Homo-oligomer: A and B are copies of this chain.
Amino acid sequence: MFREKIKVLDCTVRDGGLMNNHNFDLRFVREVYKSLSEAGIDYMEIGYKNSKQLFNPKEFGKWKFCDDEDISKVIDGIKSHTKISVMVDVDRVDVDQVLLKKDSPVDMIRVATYVKDVDKAIFLTNHFADKGYETAVNIMAISRALDNELTECLQQLEKECKAKIVYIVDSFGSLYQESTEFLIKKAKSILKTKEIGIHAHNNQQLAFSNTIEAIIHDANYVDGSIFGLGRAAGNCPTELLLGFLKNPKYDIRPILDVISKEFIPLQKKIEWGYFIPYAITGILDEHPRTAIALRESDKKENYREYYESLVGEVEE
Residues of A within 8 A of B (CB): 176-178, 202, 204-210, 212-213, 216, 227-228, 237, 239-240, 243-244, 252-253, 256-257, 259-260, 264, 273-274, 276, 279-280, 282-283, 301-304, 307-308
Contact = CB atoms under 8 A, between A and B. Distances in A.
Given A253-B304, A256-B276, A279-B240, A206 B208 contact: yes
A240 B302 CA distance: 17
Determine chain A's interface SS by DSSP, over half rule. Answer: helix
A301 B260 contact: yes
A256 B303 contact: yes
A210 B208 CA distance: 11
Nearest to A253: B304
Contacts of A257: 303-304
B302 A260 contact: yes
6 contacts: A202-B205, A227-B276, A252-B307, A256-B276, A259-B303, A260-B301
A227 B259 CA distance: 24
Given A202-B205, A205-B237, A237-B205, A212 B256 contact: no
Contacts of A213: 177
Contacts of A274: 228, 273-274
B204 A205 contact: no
A239 B276 contact: yes
Residue picked from A204, A257, A280, A308, most chain B C-beta under 10 Å: A204
A227 B275 CA distance: 9
